[in-house]
Structure 1
Amino acid sequence: MKRLDAYIFVLLGMLAGLSSCSTTKHLPEGETLYLGLKNITIQNEDETKAGQTALDEVMGAISIAPNNAIVTYPNVRFPVPFGLWMYNRFERYEKGFGRWIFKHLAADPVLLSEVNPDTRAKVAGNLLRDYGFFDGHVTWKIDSTKNERAVKLSYDIDMGRPYRIDTLLYEGFAPRTDSLIHARSSERLVHTDDYFNVNTLNAERQRVVDLLRNHGYYYARTDFLTFLADTLMRPGYVMLKMVPAANLPKEALKTYHIGKTAVYLTGYNGEPPVDSMKLRDFTVFYAGDKPGLRFDVLRKRFLYRKGELYSQTRQDYTQEALSRLGVFKFNEMQYLPRSGEDTLDVRVNAMFDLPYDSELELNVTTKSTKQTGPGAIFKLTKKNFRRMGASLNLELKGSYEWQTSSTVDGDKSVMNSYELGAALSLDFPRIVIPWVRNRIDPFRFPSETHFRIYAEQVNRARYFKMLSFGGSISYSFQKSRSMKHTVTPVHLAFNHLQRRTATFDSIALANPMLFHSLDDQFIPSISYTFTYDDSWRQHRWRIWWENSFTSAGNITSAIYAAFGRGFKEKEKKFLGTPFAQFLKFTSEIRPLFYINEKQQLAGRLMAGVIWAYGNKTIAPYNEQFYVGGANSIRAFTVRSLGPGRFHPADNAAYSYVDETGDIKLEANLEYRFRLFSNMFGGNLNGAVFLDAGNVWLMRKDEARPGAEFTFKHFFDNIAVGTGVGIRYDLSFLVLRLDWGIALHVPYETGRSGYYNIPRFKDGQGLHFAIGYPF
């Protein structure tokens, strides 16, 4: 206690010493500390959406954060200027520990000269005019403070009246160009009565240029078009004309056609092309004995043909298609005009990437059953397999688990619970249908074909040993940038219970439903998944939404019915194993709102249901739902909740089994914010989150009372947890640490009230993970 008192005394002394430090004592000579905004007045405020957009831009130009700011305006600052104290206390040190403290803990003061309010007021006034407020202006003044070397600023914004668009005419263009522009006039971005907006005019000019470049005008540029404006003819309105710029080069006035194409393939060690292969107008130059990529695979990536008009869109899609092959370090397209002709020959320079890629993941798993142990996943990828632009992937994984308690039902711990798995997949960056030749990928956006076979073995100490194996074929394609479709026409899985113990047999008697979910099964299924993702638009609101539907055993059952076996007949088998029949649907939506560059609000809502029937009325164990863990309800470990109000006692016969269900509901809300920028090469971010959810059974299970879904006491059946977390974001890698705190569990704990956690320490979960949870 005496030592603790001494530490506290020293700490208080340090704080007192720092608090006595001036925040301006060691400012550079003649400089003034900026303390933020005192007041902003707005005159003639325009409350329309366009007016508020303009005002937001103006506020962004003048709202500069002072040191230790929490909110820029109204000015809210953290009351302890620790960084400034460190700056003024240790600024004079040039080396040693004092210099280290200055470098890592001090905050550079925000100076009035750096804020430069006069320039910012001019920029803000120009922004008003860019948004059509031609009469608007911004002024500023200095507000003194108690410290003569520290000031605040006040701004006065007078928006004036907005100017609107009267008309936009397109004049001075050649007949063909004029016809093309007017034929697409319905797509114009500038309309009568819109607020004048320079950004919209620039977007309209870019639209016209894109239109021209997609119709052969290879040399079209935005600086070749200009606007003429008149504000006198109609007060408060702007009459506009888009016209070609003066003295345009003659090349900009003509259309061009595609000529020959030559592709130069450089080896991954820099080997230059030494030989060539030609088919009509398409030539491939390559190093070695044969091209590093099959001729037909390469040719089908080019979405144009000789004699077609040049198109910027086709050029972009072609480059994307070449990049999606995943075999090149880079590829670039050059257009070479023929002298005196309207023809562009195409030259593509590409260099092969390294042929192999490998990845090793190490992890430690801790379960609610007091099982813990290490795991590893090794992945090896052979790029450009057999020169087809495909990748051959081998994945090996394994993990061991041992009991963390000293004994298990009187037996000492043994290291004999393990999981082993291997998977081999072949991925094509295009649609591939076996035994169908001369196929052409019809989709301009990414499409993939995925062939996969796998085998996994699970050994649960003293209970059972299970072998699972199977394979699948799936196709993914996009008809637009935001919408992706994934179809899996073939997915075959076999679950075989190789060995079971007397202990496991006693569990089967106590809980038949659980036993049958682990029984030998053949699972033939087909599935369809639709994904919507508009994050590429870079809007403040972004939505990711995925819906998936799976049907298992129904085609197989229909085949049996065709041969006289009824749909309702039980225990139909394939290769001596009963096959599962179920329908499964999941839907997950993830909205993300960007408050600003340093703050985001992220959410997730997920629902799923699986209905087993016919040949098997209990869904396979690995198809059932669960909650908890680093990417779910973070106050609880994975698979430690539900189903429903049921919760096995720690000493129950089947408490070792993970808790799963047929229905799942889960909701998450997370506020993300920046703590420190550019910290050792990355950003340190914080998060506050709220998680809720549970799983339920579709049918009543006598061995698990309260596990089935009902609307009675629905909200009491939802587990709720909150918590905080930190994320170290290196842009290419995110390291995440979350501390979850339980608020409510759906089962009886002996404690009344909504907060029914018996002891605070019992309702905590600590998760270290890679990547964001959603």
Structure 2
Amino acid sequence: MIYDAYYAERSRTDMERALRNMGYMQAYVELNEEIRKKKLKLTYRLHAGAPYRIGSWKYDIRDEGVREELADYESHLMQDSMMFNVNILDAERQQMTNHLQNRGFYRFNKEYITCTADTVRGTHIVDLTYHVAPYDARSGRMHERFRIGKVNVLTDYDLAEAARERDLSHFDSLHYKDLNIYTRRHSFLRPEVLSQNITIEPGRFYSEARLQETQSMLGRLHAIKYSDIRFVENHNDSTLLDCYVLLSRNKPNSFSAELEGTNSAGDLGAAASLSYQNRNLFNGSELFTFKVRGAYEAVTGLQGYSNGNYVEYGVEASINFPRFLFPFISPDVRRRIQATSEIALQYNSQERPEFGRRAASMTWGYRWSYNHKWRHSIDVVDLNYVYMPWISTTFREEYLDNINNQNSILKYNYENLLIMKMGYGFTYRSEGGESRATLGNAYSVRFNVESAGNLLYGFSHLLKAQRNDSHQYTVMNIAYAQYLKTDVDFTKSFLIDHRNSIVFHVGLGVAYPYGNSRILPFEKRYFSGGANSVRGWLVRRLGPGKFAGNDRNIDFINQSGDIKLDVNLEYRTKLFWKLNGAFFIDAGNIWTIHDYEEQPGGAFRFNSFYKEIAVAYGLGLRFDFDYFILRFDGGMKAINPAYESGKDRYPLIRPDFGRDFAFHFAVGYPF
């Protein structure tokens, strides 16, 4: 790049300013230029000096009303002897402003608050004074405190007629609780739905927090396309603000269709789906979704089967209610947690050359968020039924009943099965405060736990029900699964600068079958490798433990486990345009809790599991299109736990691209 003395000096002054803003008042930066032929080397030497700390702080408030409201204000940012930091001082101004705006001071903003710093001579102590200016310093006019007057809700709001939003004569009106509802026809939302999602109430002091809460609650209603909230001073009482909630309806119905080509291990096929959505099923912004899907695939390479086609069709329906459908919960709690309730039904049918499979499920659960950081989910009932109407003689004789090829894991997954589970999960995402975000102190935690079969097992044991030949209790001659499964994920980002960051991730999962089950259902087992795990292996090609696999036709069953560990470290950088790059190191594996003959070396042992951790490294390219990310990762094996010693165990030393490379394509980041 071409040297520019102006920008070099500007960088020096920016560094000095940044140091002084962080409390190093006497900091200075030296700029040295060293010319070598036609190249110039710049060296910035930072002399920070001793930091300044805050000794005391006080408030200078000439507005009596503001002074009374701040009398009970407690700072959560200012601390004795903390380092002087301009960013924290500015955050304190914003916190004081929020405190006042939530107590009726509608026109107040942080520009009315200034801060002066006095240093004690001969020390590095700073005494602060926060000054709060009156509304108009020239006239001496103080800040006014407003209460809410009328709350007017205009449905069917038209942006083209924005100037007429206060002319309500041409609207039909309805008064419901504290709301005045105006509509040109009938309201597309029931009055109680509007009342549940509008927290601004007449007679209360104006609150910025309630305004944002109402905007958030209205924004999650699928029936609303656009919402706007405005405040207008009441002509008869200057201490009142009339609130106008302007709503425009969304299109209630929509259809979508998808057509895709499929390629499963070289077998070509096609799939199509058709979806219908109603965004306002019962005039309460209930989202109803109905979807049908069909797929066909020509299966090749199979011998001894009468049919060579794979046919699948499925249907699913769900209703999402934008509220907590549960008794004994007060309206205030319903508003605060902003929960949704969902009921879903699904049916799927598969016809393969080897077998026929039917699956039906029913789910009833809740989802809610808190403080934009916490997300919770509860599955009250999740019922799944898998039915195998037929299994071909060839498949049964070759894999399921073959004395020389007994596989209890494989056989278990081709039997009729009932799963009745319940679960809970939460996700916490912390972006940190304004000053912490500068340091990249952002992390997320995800936790899930689910339990299946306990209620059924309790009833079976209480009623002394008969067991089947496999010593399992049944419901209508169908064995049910019983297990406990827990997953924990932790991800932390370290921001180096605006172009570079490091992301660390660790994930641990444990699933334990007990009681009515000795083996986990295949859908609940863990697998390793792939785009979101240890990327030196293809999906389902790693583990469990040091198990290497032997029969490639059924390894997708055998290479699964009850315990999973993933540890990932990824360096991310912006390259150019929308293209980003990455370098990653992955480690992990899966293990089984019990010893299985089909998975020798796959059981978890405390004294040896660390020797069975696989390690991979690689490079990635990501196209960031804002709304979605296309990811291409190429991973190489570094340590292969399938080998206990020798060069095959450490492919990092002698890499073989054809043997050790795995390519992955995915949408979104891996963690």
Q: Which amino acid aligns with 1:717?
A: E
Between the aligned partners of 1:633 and 1:684, the Cα distance in structure 2 is 23
1:691-730 to 2 correspondences below 5 Å: 691-711=586-606, 713-730=608-625
**Cα pair 1:727 1:737 within 8 Å, conserved:** yes
**Superposed displacement of residue 262, structure 1:** 0.9
| Structure 2 partner of 1:184 | 73
Between the aligned partners of 1:198 and 1:657, the Cα distance in structure 2 is 59
**Cα pair 2:229 2:246 within 8 Å, conserved:** yes
Choose 353-362 or 383-392, whichever is displaced more: 353-362
| Structure 2 partner of 1:425 | 318
1:607-686 to 2 correspondences below 5 Å: 607-650=508-551, 654-655=554-555, 657=557, 659-676=559-576, 678=577, 683-686=578-581
**Cα pair 1:549 1:585 within 8 Å, conserved:** yes
Residue 419 (structure 2) pairs with residue 523 (structure 1):
yes
Q: Which amino acid aligns with 2:176?
A: L
Question: Match for 2:584 among 668, 674, 689?
Answer: 689
Q: Which amino acid aligns with 2:98?
A: D
| Structure 1 partner of 2:666 | 769
| Structure 2 partner of 1:388 | 284
**Cα pair 2:636 2:660 within 8 Å, conserved:** yes
**Superposed displacement of residue 296, structure 1:** 0.9
Between the aligned partners of 1:698 and 1:285, the Cα distance in structure 2 is 63
C-alpha change, 1:599 and 1:567, in structure 2 (3 Å) is farther
**Cα pair 1:275 1:285 within 8 Å, conserved:** yes
| Structure 2 partner of 1:205 | 93
C-alpha change, 1:459 and 1:659, in structure 2 (3 Å) is farther
C-alpha change, 1:416 and 1:535, in structure 2 (3 Å) is farther
**Superposed displacement of residue 261, structure 1:** 0.6
| Structure 2 partner of 1:258 | 148
| Structure 2 partner of 1:298 | 194
SS of the residue corresponding to residue 409 of structure 2 reads: helix
C-alpha change, 1:734 and 1:342, in structure 2 (3 Å) is same
1:248-647 to 2 correspondences below 5 Å: 248=137, 252-266=142-156, 274-288=171-185, 290-339=186-235, 340-357=237-254, 373-375=269-271, 379-402=275-298, 407-409=301-303, 416-433=309-326, 441-461=333-353, 463-506=354-397, 507-509=399-401, 510-535=406-431, 539=437, 540-565=440-465, 570-647=471-548
Q: Which amino acid aligns with 1:352?
A: R
**Cα pair 2:630 2:667 within 8 Å, conserved:** yes
Between the aligned partners of 2:267 and 2:284, the Cα distance in structure 1 is 45
Q: Give the unaligned 5+ runs of structure 1.
A: 1-66, 68-109
**Superposed displacement of residue 605, structure 1:** 1.9
Between the aligned partners of 1:377 and 1:297, the Cα distance in structure 2 is 33
**Superposed displacement of residue 291, structure 1:** 0.8
Deviation readout 1:475-515 (Å, 9 max, x if unpaired): 12234432222111111110101210123323123213321
| Structure 1 partner of 2:55 | 166
Q: Which amino acid aligns with 1:544?
A: S
SS of the residue corresponding to residue 97 of structure 2 reads: helix
Q: Percent identity?
A: 27
C-alpha change, 1:419 and 1:750, in structure 2 (3 Å) is farther
Q: What TM-score comes out, normalization by structure 2 length?
A: 0.87
Q: Which amino acid aligns with 1:423?
A: E
C-alpha change, 1:621 and 1:689, in structure 2 (3 Å) is same
Deviation readout 1:181-206 (Å, 9 max, x if unpaired): 23223x25334433333322222222
Between the aligned partners of 1:643 and 1:136, the Cα distance in structure 2 is 57
**Cα pair 1:132 1:195 within 8 Å, conserved:** yes
C-alpha change, 1:325 and 1:270, in structure 2 (3 Å) is farther
SS of the residue corresponding to residue 280 of structure 2 reads: strand
Between the aligned partners of 2:51 and 2:305, the Cα distance in structure 1 is 82
1:725-764 to 2 correspondences below 5 Å: 725-747=620-642, 752-755=647-650, 760-764=657-661
Q: Which amino acid aligns with 2:350?
A: V
State the number of aligned residues.
Answer: 649
SS of the residue corresponding to residue 266 of structure 1 reads: coil
**Superposed displacement of residue 525, structure 1:** 0.9
SS of the residue corresponding to residue 385 of structure 1 reads: coil
Deviation readout 1:155-204 (Å, 9 max, x if unpaired): 4544455443332211334455334323223x253344333333222222
**Superposed displacement of residue 322, structure 1:** 0.8
SS of the residue corresponding to residue 472 of structure 1 reads: strand
**Cα pair 1:443 1:479 within 8 Å, conserved:** no
SS of the residue corresponding to residue 586 of structure 1 reads: strand
Choose 746-755 or 235-244, whichever is displaced more: 746-755
SS of the residue corresponding to residue 529 of structure 2 reads: coil
| Structure 2 partner of 1:116 | 7
CA-based RMSD: 3.4
Between the aligned partners of 1:374 and 1:764, the Cα distance in structure 2 is 29
Q: What TM-score comes out, normalization by structure 1 length?
A: 0.76
Between the aligned partners of 2:667 and 2:280, the Cα distance in structure 1 is 29
SS of the residue corresponding to residue 61 of structure 2 reads: coil
C-alpha change, 1:655 and 1:316, in structure 2 (3 Å) is closer
